[in-house]
Amino acid sequence: MPKCGYTQMIKSILNHENIKVDLQREFIVEERTHYDHVFYSGPLDAFFGYQYGRLGYRTLDFKKFTYQGDYQGCAVMNYCSVDVPYTRITEHKYFFSLGTTRRLCLL
C-alpha cells in the first residue's frame, strides 16, 4: 500500500501538468483515437461503442462475518470459477500492522 494511501497517490498523479482531468462529461467513442493513453472509468461496453451490445453487469454484495484465527493466509483471495458464488474474500488485517488478532472481520 502507498505510504500516504491511494487517495494521495492518485491526487499526486493527477496534479501533473501533462494530465488533464475531465469530469461529468459525455464520453465520445471517436475521441479515444486522439490520445496515446486514455484512462476511462465508465462502462467497458460504452468505451468500445457497444460493438458487441450491452454487457450484463453483476452487482456487488458485501457480506461481513467474523472468524477466529487465520482464515485464508493473505489479504485478498480472488475466485474466478463460475462454481464459486463470490469473486473475492478480503482479510483487512493484512493491510495494516495490527499484530496478533484473535478475531477478524472479512468482507
> Would you kindly state where each structural domain of the chain is located, as residue ranges?
6-47, 65-106
- Contact in structure between 68 and 93 (CB atoms under 8 Å): no
- Top pLDDT among 96 and 91 is at 91
For 13-52, the pLDDT digits (tens) are: 999 998 888 888 877 777 778 888 877 788 888 888 888 8
| C-alpha cell recorded at residue 77 | 483471495
pLDDT at residue 103 in the model? 59
Q: 5-19, 59-73, 77-91: lowest mean pLDDT where?
A: 59-73
Query: In one letter, which amino acid is 58?
Result: R
Does this model's pTM top 0.85? Answer: no
Residue 88 neighbours by CB under 8 Å, 6+ apart: 76, 77, 78, 79
The pLDDT value given to residue 77:
93
